Amino acid sequence: MTSPDTVDPTAAPSPGPVPAALRVGIAVVGLQALVVVGYALTELVYGAVERSGTAVAVAVFLGAYGVGIGWAGWLVLQCRSSARSPLVLAQLLHLGLAWNMRDEPTTLAAVALAGSAVLALVALFWRSSHRWLLDGDPDAAGPSQRV
C-alpha cells in the first residue's frame, strides 16, 4: 500500500504552472478559434438558405480550421511543444489576411486580426513560454540531449 505522499519515480517531472504570457497567448488563440467557428456556422446557415455549395464548403473548411487551432491551443496548455508550430503558422496566415484586408471597409477588422496575431506570436515565443514548453514536454529532448 502506498501513501499519498509517495512520488512515482517513472512519472515525468511537472514543468510547473503555465506562464502568464502563454496563458494570454492561448486565450487569444481560443478567441480566434471561437470567432472562426462562429463565422463558419453563420456561413453554413446562410449557405443552406441560399443553397450554395461554395458557402457550405467554406463553412466546413473554416469550421475545421477553427477547431484545429483550438485543439492545438489546448495541446500547448498540456505542454506539447509540437502543437506550437501550427499555432505559429496560423498567426502568420492571420497577418497575411490582415494585410489583405487593410483597405476600407475592413480596416478595423484587419487591425484587430493583426493585433491578435502579433500578441499571440509574442506570447508563444516569450522566453518563459518557450522554456516551460521545452522543460515539460516528454517528447522534447532533455537538457543533456539538446544540441
pLDDT single digits (tens) 103-138: 989 999 999 999 999 999 999 999 999 999 988 877
Look at residue 140 and tell me whether its pLDDT is greater than 80: no
108 found inside a domain: yes
- Which domain does 113 fall in, by range? 20-136
Q: Which residues of 120-138 are buried (b: 16+ CB within 10 A; e: fewer)?
A: bbebbebeebbebbbbbbe
Contacts of 43 (CB under 8 A, 6+ apart): 55, 58, 59, 62
Output the pLDDT for position 55. Answer: 86
Nearest Cα neighbor of 59 from 77, 78, 79, 38 is 38
The amino acid sitting at 49 is: V
The pTM of this model reads: 0.81
Distance CA 101, CA 119 (A): 18
Contact 18, 81 (CB under 8 A): no
How many Cβ atoms from other residues are within 10 Å of residue 72's Cβ?
A: 22
Q: Does the residue 141 lie in any domain?
A: no
In a domain, 3, yes or no: no
Q: Is residue 65 assigned to a domain?
A: yes
Distance from C-alpha of 60 to C-alpha of 105, rounded to nearest angstrom: 26
Task: Report the amino acid identity of residue 9.
Answer: P
Domain assignment present for 73: yes
Phi and psi torsions of 5, nearest 5° = -85, -5
In a domain, 144, yes or no: no
- Give which of 98, 100, 43, 96 is closest to 66, Cα–Cα: 43
Residue type, 146: R
Question: Is the residue at 12 inside a domain?
Answer: no
pLDDT tens digit string along 51-91?
Answer: 778 888 999 999 999 999 999 999 999 999 899 999 999 99
Count of domains for the chain:
1
Is 12's pLDDT higher than 60?
A: no
**Is position 111 within any domain?**
yes
